[in-house]
Structures are given as C-alpha cells and as structure tokens.
Amino acid sequence: MSPSFPRPFAYEGARLLCSGSSLEALAAEHGTPLYVYSADAIRERAGMLQAGLADVPHTICYAVKANSALAIVQMLGEMGCGFDIVSGGELERVRRACPEALGRVVFSGVGKQVWELDAALEAGILLFNVEGEGELELLSSRAVALGKTARMALRVNPDVFAETHPYISTGLSDHKFGIAIAKAREVYRRAMTLPGLDPAGVSVHIGSQIRSTEPFATSVERVGQLVAELRADGMDIRYVDAGGGLGVEYGQVPWDPAASVQAYATAVTGAARGLGAHLLLEPGRFFVAQAGALLTRVLYVKQNGAKTFVITDAGMNDLIRPSLYQAHHEIWPVVRSGRSEQTVDIVGPVCESGDFFARDRAIERVGPGDLVAILDAGAYGMSLSSHYNTRVRPAEVMVDGDKARVIRRRETFEDLFAPEVV
C-alpha cells in the first residue's frame, strides 16, 4: 500500500507520517477525530501554480470555501495570494487572518446581502462578481449610499459542459449561477448607466473537480469574444476571472500534479494571452485536498449478515463528502500490522444509514483501538462539518517543517451550547 503520486502522507516502515511527523503521536496528543494538514504541501501546490502563470499578469485568489482555517488563509496571503469569497463571513476570515490582502479579494456567490456588500465596499475589495441584474442594481445603490465605487464583473454562464459531479458543475444554462453569455452585453450596457459601478472585468466559473483542460480553455475563449464586444462598447475591461475548478485525483491512479498544473496553465493562459487583461484564478481544492487527512479511531468491528462494518469515532458530520458526493477517499491504517486484507464498510456513529466513508473496501484488518487515516480530506472536510447528532467538531493540527501546532482546538459542549437560550 503506497501512493501512486507524491502525498505528504507516507509510510516510514510500518508507521504513517505527515511530512515526517508521526500521526500516531499526534492522535495520542490531540485525540480523535483529528484533522491534520501539511503546510509544506499547501505551499508546494501554490508555488506550482504561481510558477505556471509567471509569464502573464495574474492574481491567484484562493477559494476560501475549500478550507477556511485562519492559519491556511494567513499562510497563502503571505505568499501573495488573493482570495475568492462567497460570504461576509469569509470576508471577515480574510480580515482577521491577512488584512493586507483585502485588496486582493473577489466576492462571488448568488445571494449577497446588503450587509455583505457594504462590508466588502468598506474593505475596498478588488472585484465583485455579480450574478444577476437584481444584484447589479443593489450593488449600485449601496456604492452610492457609501460614497464608494464598486469594481465589478458579471459572472457569465458560457454553457460549457465539464465532466464532474452534478452538484459541483456550475457552467450550464440550467444552473443557478451566472448570466447567459448571450445576454451579458445587454446587462453590461445597463451597468454602464448605473452610478457607483466600474465595469472592470468578466468572470466565469464552470465547476469544481475538473480534470480535463479543454473546458477551461473553451470557457475563456468564449469570454474573450465578449471582452472584445464590451471594449467596443467603451468599457475598460481590465480583469478576466477564469474561476477555479482544477481537480485532483482521490484514488490510487498514476497522476502528476506538476504536469496537471502545467497543462492547466497552458490552456488558460493560451486562451487569455491576447486579451490584455489581468488574469484572476480561484483554486481551492487543488491547494488543500491532498494536504489534509482525517484521523479516526476504530470503536468496533461488527458483523451483520454477510457484511462487516468497521465503526469509527469520526462520522459524516466530520467528513460528509462520501455521503454527499459518493466521493472516494483512500483509507489507510496508521500503523500497518501485516494482517491480511478484509472487505468492509467503514462507517461512523451518526444515526443515519448514509453515515459511511467507504463501502465494500478492501483494507488491512483493523480492530478496536486502531487508528486509520482518511486521506485527501483537506478540502471540503472541516469546512462542510456540522454539529449533527450534537457532536462537537474535531481539532485541526498543522504540520509545518518539524513542528506541529493546533490551529483549531477541539470544540467543547460549552462552545456548542453557547448560542442557545432556554
């Protein structure tokens, strides 16, 4: 059992390490369930993309929704990244972790509220990605009320199919996101007449976990045609936001992240090169997914008819991707025992039949007290966690070089009940 591509999680002898740190020791010190991240792996991925885009003017805006830990936001901000946010809460995370990066923030999302627009205007963010005509009118009125000018782009829907899970595909005409590209020129002309707005860019985002480069290139090419039309209408279009969505491999297939970045960068910059615009990109998953793992301890092994269930102390409230997306995560024992493999369902304690991490998975036999690591859990793991079944959420630990530190302490019942009133 060994990775088919570089991960920060690797065996040294029989023991699984994260960038050289013992996962067994981290679980003993901090308890389980426990999220563990490699700072070096995140920096490496960010550096790959920065190098791939080096010959074009660009800003990499990390998608905060992928993993919104303040420590990760701060680290990427210090590397010069901007941020793609989808809520006022995510704006506040940037403010607290890296206030100097507020001018590198793009604000996306279909349901921006008045208080969120006001906070972003006061913060002086880089760009509002406007999703509809109603939002355009509201942004204009709030900019005027606050005496500000809002740089904005319309998020256009290029009707480009990207082969991914339907829940995370966003670029087709039957999705809730964006404005039909055929209608965009008309809406931009309306934006030119509204006070407080600076139509400064065009934005597109076609989905997440996309592993083919062709949809990215096609969407940017379609945006390029619109940019030419808007400039002919007298607009100063300075930014093209090509969105995010660069995927990773969750399974054990041969895959080279550096080659994937190079192909992606070539496709996007090739399509955007003649536009004379500053390129914005919104990676999230690619930076953090494989940098994180969820450690969990086996509680019981249960036979039920022909099925064997490995029941762990982590549940779907801690990592919902397998239940929500039928997502695959590699699951490895933290200490290899040399036992034979057994086909099992690996499940949690939550009172739902959908509470599972793997079904019919061959794994080295484990027993009560053993630790397993659910790999590639750094994106949309903790950020999608909940208190379902009145369960407190895990702690998070960052391994950075030869040190490991808590970046979020384990919640207590006091934290959980603090907002409630009886």
Rounded Cα distance between 421 and 220, Å, is: 50
Q: Which of 251, 283, 315 is the last residue before a domain boundary?
A: 283
238 with 124, same domain? yes
Task: Report which of 185, 183, 186 is spatially closest to residue 173, judged by C-alpha positions.
Answer: 183
Residue 318 burial (CB count, 10 A): 29
pLDDT digit string (tens) for 65-84?
A: 999 999 999 999 999 999 99
Rounded Cα distance between 40 and 6, Å, is: 12
pLDDT digit string (tens) for 93-129?
A: 999 999 999 999 999 999 999 999 999 999 999 999 9
Where do we find the tokens 């991490």?
357
Residue type, 274: G
Residue type, 197: L
For 126-216, where are the E strands, in sequence order? Answer: 127-130, 150-157, 179-180, 197-203
Residue 112 maps to a domain: yes
φ and ψ at residue 347, rounded to 5 degrees: -135, 170
- pLDDT score for 307: 95
DSSP string, 326-362: -----EEESB---PPEEEEEEE-SSSSTT-EEEEEEE
Q: Helix (H, G, I), strand (E, B), or coil: what is residue 419?
A: coil
21 with 123, same domain? no
Domain containing residue 270: CATH number: 3.20.20.10
pLDDT digit string (tens) for 147-204?
A: 999 999 999 987 765 544 444 444 445 555 678 888 999 999 999 999 999 999 999 9
Number of domains in the chain: 2
279 with 331, same domain? no
Residue 385 maps to a domain: yes
Residue 307 maps to a domain: yes
403 with 378, same domain? yes
- pLDDT score for 208: 66
Residue 141 maps to a domain: yes
Residue 118 maps to a domain: yes
187 with 237, same domain? yes
Domain containing residue 378: CATH number: 2.40.37.10
Rounded Cα distance between 66 and 378, Å, is: 8
Please give the distance of CA 134 from its chain centroid, rounded to a whole number.
27
43-74 burial: b if 16+ Cβ within 10 Å, else e: bbbbebbbebbeebebbbbbbbbbbbbebbbb
| pLDDT of 132 strictly over 50 | yes
Q: Which of 283, 307, 341 is the last residue before a domain boundary?
A: 283
Give the C-alpha distances (Å, rounded to integers) separating 405 from 275, 283, 410: 44, 25, 13
- pLDDT score for 257: 84
| Residue 15 structural domain | 9-38+290-417
388 with 332, same domain? yes
Residue 67 maps to a domain: no
Residue 63 maps to a domain: no
| pLDDT of 260 strictly over 50 | yes
Rounded Cα distance between 361 and 358, Å, is: 6
- pLDDT score for 250: 84
375 with 317, same domain? yes
Q: Which residues are catalytic?
A: 351
**All residues at 6 or more sequence positions from 374 whose CB lies less than 8 Å from its CB, including other chains:** 293, 294, 295, 296, 314, 319, 329, 330, 331, 357
Residue 160 maps to a domain: yes
Rounded Cα distance between 198 and 200, Å, is: 6
pTM of the model: 0.93
209 with 265, same domain? yes
139 with 272, same domain? yes
333 with 389, same domain? yes
272 with 299, same domain? no
334 with 226, same domain? no
